[in-house]
């Protein structure tokens, strides 16, 4: 049987991977997209009925604020604002703190030395990120759950069209 408790006896199914938890993990050395990926599992799947809770807590202050931890704090604040806008969740006030605006531009993508890549990032990056001086494009929170739902809808439409002898729906 799968053990879903930590050494302290806390049932891991009851622990939300909030953005504050994700940021704390990043500050403690966790790979950013591992911590954010765990958050995304809750946001898009396991706890989507608790989205407001997932973003409510302000980010903890790290023991040592480095350029890296400051960038990720700004990225997370932008992420929370963008996700709340996209999914109609009340946005917490903490994301608007000016500490989450970077003084220098952070180009977060491969190939940023190429002008066409920078031009694409300038065009595609959602406003909550751009306002914080982060240019990362618009694909960072693509998720498998919505893609699966879309495929299911298309397959159902195809079945209905075939049953009704209409023209098949192309995928």
Domain ranges of the chain: 12-100, 141-171
Mean pLDDT for the chain overall:
87
Residue 14, CB half-sphere, CA atoms under 13 Å: how many? 5
Is the dihedral angle over the CA atoms 133, 107, 67, 42 positive or is it negative?
Answer: positive
Q: List phi, psi (to 5°) of 33.
A: -80, -10
Least confident piece of the model among 6-10, 83-87, 116-120, 128-132: 6-10
Length of the chain: 171
- Band of the pLDDT at 168, cuts 50, 70, 90? low
pLDDT at 130 over 50: yes
pLDDT at 25 over 80: yes
Cα–Cα distance for residue pair 58/39, rounded to 1 Å: 15
pLDDT tens sequence across 137-156 = 998 888 777 766 767 777 78
Least confident piece of the model among 10-24, 119-133, 143-157: 143-157
What pLDDT score was predicted for residue 106?
97
pLDDT at 19 over 80: yes
pLDDT at 3 over 80: no
Q: 19-27 and 67-86 are packed helices; what angle lies between their axes, rounded to 10 degrees?
A: 160
Share of the chain above pLDDT 90, in %: 67
User: Which residue is listed with tokens 């302000």?
Assistant: 58
What pLDDT score was predicted for residue 4?
35
């Amino acid at each position: 049987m799968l053990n879903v408790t930590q050494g302290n006896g806390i049932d891991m199914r009851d622990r939300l991977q909030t953005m504050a938890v994700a940021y704390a993990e990043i500050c403690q050395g966790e790979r950013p997209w591992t911590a954010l990926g765990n958050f995304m599992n809750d946001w898009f799947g396991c706890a989507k009925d608790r989205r407001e809770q997932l973003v409510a807590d302000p980010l903890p202050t790290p023991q040592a604020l480095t350029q890296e931890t400051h960038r990720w704090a700004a990225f997370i604040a932008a992420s929370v604002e963008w996700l709340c806008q996209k999914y109609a969740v009340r946005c917490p006030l903490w994301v608007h703190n000016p500490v989450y605006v970077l003084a220098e531009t952070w180009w977060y993508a491969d190939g940023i030395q190429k002008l066409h890549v920078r031009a694409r990032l300038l065009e595609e990056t959602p406003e909550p990120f751009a306002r914080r001086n982060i240019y990362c494009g618009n694909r960072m929170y693509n998720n498998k759950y919505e893609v699966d739902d879309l495929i299911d809808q298309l397959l159902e439409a195809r079945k209905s069209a075939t049953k009704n002898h209409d023209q098949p729906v192309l995928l």
